[in-house]
Amino acid sequence: MDLEMTNAQRAEVLIHALPYIQKYYNKIIVVKYGGNAMINEELKEAVMGDIVLLSLIGIKVVLVHGGGPEISDMLKKIGKESRFVDGLRVTDGESMDIVQMVLAGKINKNLVNLLQNKGGRAIGLCGVDGHMIEAVQLKEELGFVGEITNVNTQPILDVLEKGYIPVISTVGCDNEGHTYNINADTAAARIAGMLKAESLISMTDIVGILRDKDDPSTLISKINVSDAPELIHEGIISGGMIPKVECCIEAIRRGVSKVFIIDGRVPHSILIETLTDEGIGTMLV
């Protein structure tokens, strides 16, 4: 079977995408970038290409990223062990320096570079820039792990207005000059909410929310926010998925129209979710 697309088929694909392009044109989409798609080089290239494409057709994409595995690697290199409490990294002063270095330095600038190599225009920001993510200490035993008190969207809007893709690392700050490690899911949800984004796309390492976790055909393609507590109670949403879904619900309560949980391991999953009928993950409304 010849898998080469004909020009007519290519045209057909573009025509099918047209209503979606119109729907999202000039609107803001926040992409929370994490999981395997951040580690696998081929997937990383695909994600950056997707974001540049969306940006070039007039969609305002805001990229929010974490970097847990890279932080753990760097801490290991200096002989520090990573400790977690309820899924959050215990962050002492020395660890916080590393977190800031890895997130706001290495990862952030690498992503900016990749986007630019794909023909996009990107500017890297962290939550400290323009006092964008204001935070206080979440719990004493976690050290410099922050709880967001406010998101100042002006720096993001300024960058978008000039035609750049803002790439945001989730480091927060307070008025005393302390910096905090902020959970990337939480930050992306708050940023999307404050921007009143058209959608928030959360990239994960699962296909979406499944009725039966061992059977991909039981994907729940749409969940109403009011049904989520019942799904948690039934154990359908469980473990590390609970805080992710809670962040998604928070985004919708703050004014985001739709939230998608998609499988970042599928190449071009962002485009499939944004520009086609099918979509591939779970949508929360």
In the chain, % of residues over pLDDT 90: 66
Q: Which two tokens stand for residue 55?
A: 């940006």
For residue 87, pLDDT over 50 is answered with yes
The whole-angstrom distance between residue 152's C-alpha and the CA centroid of its chain comes to 18
pLDDT tens figures, 249-271: 999 999 999 999 999 999 999 99
In this prediction, residues 93-118 reach a mean pLDDT of 95
The three state secondary structure string of the chain is: CCCCCCHHHHHHHHHHHHHHHHHHCCCEEEEEECCHHHHCHHHHHHHHHHHHHHHHCCCEEEEEECCHHHHHHHHHHCCCCCCEECCEECECHHHHHHHHHHHHHHHHHHHHHHHHHCCCCEEEEECCHHHCEEEEECCHHHECEEEEEEECCHHHHHHHHCCCEEEEECEEECCCCCEEECCHHHHHHHHHHHHCCCEEEEEECCCCCECCCCCHHHECCEECHHHHHHHHHCCCCCCCHHHHHHHHHHHHHCCCCEEEEEECCCCCHHHHHHHCCCCCCEEEC
What is the pLDDT confidence band of residue 106, given thresholds at 50, 70 and 90?
very high
Structural domain count, the chain: 1
Question: What's the pLDDT score for residue 3?
Answer: 65
242 is a domain residue: yes
42 is a domain residue: yes
Question: What's the pLDDT score for residue 35?
Answer: 81
Widest Cα–Cα separation across the chain: 65
Task: Exactly one of 146, 185, 193, 208 is catalytic; name it.
Answer: 185
Q: Which is higher by pLDDT, 240 or 229?
A: 229
Distance from C-alpha of 247 to C-alpha of 81, rounded to nearest angstrom: 28
Task: Exactly one of 44, 60, 244, 258 is catalytic; name it.
Answer: 244
Q: Which is higher by pLDDT, 250 or 279?
A: 250
Average pLDDT along the chain: 92
Domain that holds residue 77: 23-284
16 is a domain residue: no
Task: Exactly one of 66, 68, 193, 281 is catalytic; name it.
Answer: 68
In this prediction, residues 66-90 reach a mean pLDDT of 88
What is the pLDDT confidence band of residue 1, given thresholds at 50, 70 and 90?
very low
Q: Is position 35 annotated as part of the catalytic site?
A: yes
- pTM, full prediction: 0.93
Question: What's the pLDDT score for residue 2?
Answer: 54
18 is a domain residue: no
pLDDT tens figures, 160-208: 999 999 999 999 999 999 999 999 999 999 999 999 999 999 998 888 8
For residue 129, pLDDT over 50 is answered with yes
Q: Which is higher by pLDDT, 144 or 278?
A: 144
Candidates 26, 31, 39; CA nearest to 168 is 31
Q: Which two tokens stand for residue 63?
A: 């990229």
Q: Is position 205 annotated as part of the catalytic site?
A: no
1 is a domain residue: no
Half-sphere exposure of 1 (CA within 13 A, CB side): 2
Half-sphere exposure of 66 (CA within 13 A, CB side): 24
Q: Is position 27 annotated as part of the catalytic site?
A: no
Question: What's the pLDDT score for residue 192?
Answer: 97
pLDDT tens figures, 9-23: 989 988 999 999 999
pLDDT tens figures, 25-54: 999 999 999 887 888 899 999 999 999 999
For residue 55, pLDDT over 70 is answered with yes
Q: Which two tokens stand for residue 183?
A: 């959970």
> What pairing do the DSSP bridges indicate for beta strands 84-85 and 88-89?
antiparallel
95 is a domain residue: yes
7 is a domain residue: no
CATH code at 185? 3.40.1160.10
10 is a domain residue: no
